[in-house]
């Protein structure tokens, strides 16, 4: 949002070095509007509707929708991603952010789960001040964020091409993009209409199809829930063809995920595995060797990759030990680290 509504999503400055989805789309099959596409049905999940309240955090909100979906594709379970973990690092002085900066952060840094870093203030929709707070960030939280890193991002030249836009959604589990609008277009309704460009807003698109009123592309939006009805049983907004032209759309992007990385940290001669904001010790240094709990043996290749990257240990110095040996050596069994 911008102007009267503050600044939320600011149009990106075009960079010719960015990868383009359009190049991939040349060989893709045409969109079947009758069949449509529904990310919730595709993955067998229900995506909670976010609520950004008076904050200008829509880029964090929209991108975190996308990250949560991509994680579900890999794990089979929906875990909401944290909008605050993104927005607090990319906001502009007057509020809001560039979408490109948000998706680049997913590639360069990653993202947190909502359960580890909440985007709600005392359980309620957040203020701008709360969403800008960066006191949670530290080396441990940086390691944890790598679980949700993506491989690459691609721009889509689809502002005037609703078919290309839908194709990108179908082939990438959604799209995140910017859109101009005004509350005079009844933006809080189930089907807002294009109006005077008073603000820019970032949203995640995850559905498309055709109904008795024509073609649509749908978004959960982060401005809170709307009333469900026969045409909108899931509470998602439907944007019709009049919204898909260069006067109202800007900077749509896709993300390409990469496998989740089990974050670990080597600290004071002890190796910790990070999970859901906590760190449990899985190994410790003894002489020149790293002893790993036998129960982590199936993770040995991941551990070797991690500890050898910095030159701390060689493969032959990583030893799996049984429970009795593990307990016979004096060490701290558990170190609890909570990032928020």
SS3 track for the chain: CCHHHCCCEECCCCCCCCEEHHHHHCCCCCCCCCCCEEHHHHHCCCCCCCECCCCCCHHHHHHHHHHHHHHHHHHCCCCCECCHHHHHHHCCCCCCEEHHHHHHHHHHCCCCECCCCCCCECCECCCHHHHHCCCCCCHHHHHHHHHHCEEEEEECCCCCCHHHHHHHHHHHCCEEEEEEECHHHCCCCCCCCCCCCCEEEEEEECEEEEECCEEEEEECCCECCCCCCCCCCCCCEEEEHHHCCCCCEEEEEEEEECCCCCCEEEECCEEEEEECCEEEEEEEEECCEEEEEHHHHHHHHHHHHHHHHCCCCCHHHEEEECHHHHHHCCCCCEECCCCC
Instruction: For 97-147, write each residue's pLDDT tens digit.
Output: 999 999 999 999 999 999 989 999 999 999 999 999 999 998 878 888 988
How does pLDDT run across 20-77, given as a tens digit for each residue? Answer: 888 888 778 999 999 999 999 999 999 999 999 989 999 999 999 999 999 999 989 9
- How many whole angstroms separate alpha carbon 94 and alpha carbon 97? 9
Residues 6+ positions from 44 with CB-CB distance below 8 Å: none
Residues of the chain with CATH 3.90.70.10: 3-257
Cα–Cα distance between 81 and 103 in angstroms, integer? 13
CB atoms within 10 A of CB 294: 14
pLDDT in the model for residue 336: 36
pLDDT of 132: 98
15, burial (CB in 10 Å: exposed 0-12, middle 13-18, buried 19+): exposed
Instruction: Round to whole Å and give the CA distance between 182 and 323.
Output: 63
Average pLDDT over residues 216-241: 92
Q: Is the dihedral of CA 183, 61, 159, 14 positive or negative?
A: positive
User: What's the pTM value of the predicted model, to 2 decimals?
Assistant: 0.82
CATH of domain 3-257: 3.90.70.10
pLDDT in tens, 257-286: 988 877 777 777 778 877 666 677 788 887
Q: Above pLDDT 70, what percent of the chain?
A: 86
Cβ(332)–Cβ(270) below 8 Å:
yes
Quick one: tokens of 266? 């080597």
**Nearest-angstrom CA–CA distance, 72 and 168:** 18
């Amino acid at each position: 949002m911008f102007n009267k509504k503050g600044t939320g999503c600011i149009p990106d400055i075009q960079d010719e070095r960015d990868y383009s989805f359009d190049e991939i789309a040349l060989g893709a099959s045409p969109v079947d509007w009758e069949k449509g596409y529904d990310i919730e049905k595709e993955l067998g999940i229900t995506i909670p509707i976010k609520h950004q309240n008076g904050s200008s955090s829509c880029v964090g909100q929209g991108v975190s929708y996308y990250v949560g979906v991509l994680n579900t594709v890999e794990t089979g379970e929906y875990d909401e991603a944290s909008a605050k973990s993104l927005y607090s690092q990319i906001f502009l002085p007057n509020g809001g952010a560039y979408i490109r900066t948000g998706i680049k952060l997913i590639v360069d840094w990653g993202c947190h789960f909502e359960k580890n870093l909440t985007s709600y203030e005392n359980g309620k929709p957040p203020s701008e001040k709360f969403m800008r707070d960066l006191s949670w960030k530290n080396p441990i939280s940086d390691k944890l964020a790598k679980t949700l890193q993506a491989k690459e991002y691609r721009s889509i030249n689809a502002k005037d091409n609703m078919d290309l836009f839908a194709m990108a959604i179908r082939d990438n589990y959604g799209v995140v993009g910017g859109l101009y609008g005004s509350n005079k277009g009844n933006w809080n309704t189930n089907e807002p209409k294009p109006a005077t460009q008073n603000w820019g807003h970032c949203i995640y698109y995850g559905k498309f199809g055709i109904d008795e009123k024509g073609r649509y592309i749908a978004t959960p939006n982060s401005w809170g829930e709307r009333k469900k009805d026969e045409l909108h049983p899931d509470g998602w907004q439907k944007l019709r063809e009049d919204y898909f032209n260069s006067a109202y759309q800007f900077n749509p992007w896709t993300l390409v995920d990469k496998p989740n990385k089990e974050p670990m940290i080597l600290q004071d001669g002890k190796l910790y595995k990070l999970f859901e904001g906590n760190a449990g010790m899985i190994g410790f240094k003894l002489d020149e060797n790293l002893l790993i709990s036998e129960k982590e043996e199936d993770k040995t290749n991941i551990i070797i990759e991690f500890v050898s990257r910095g030159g701390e240990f060689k493969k032959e110095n990583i030893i799996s030990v049984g429970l009795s040996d593990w307990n016979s050596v004096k060490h701290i069994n558990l170190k609890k680290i909570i990032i928020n």
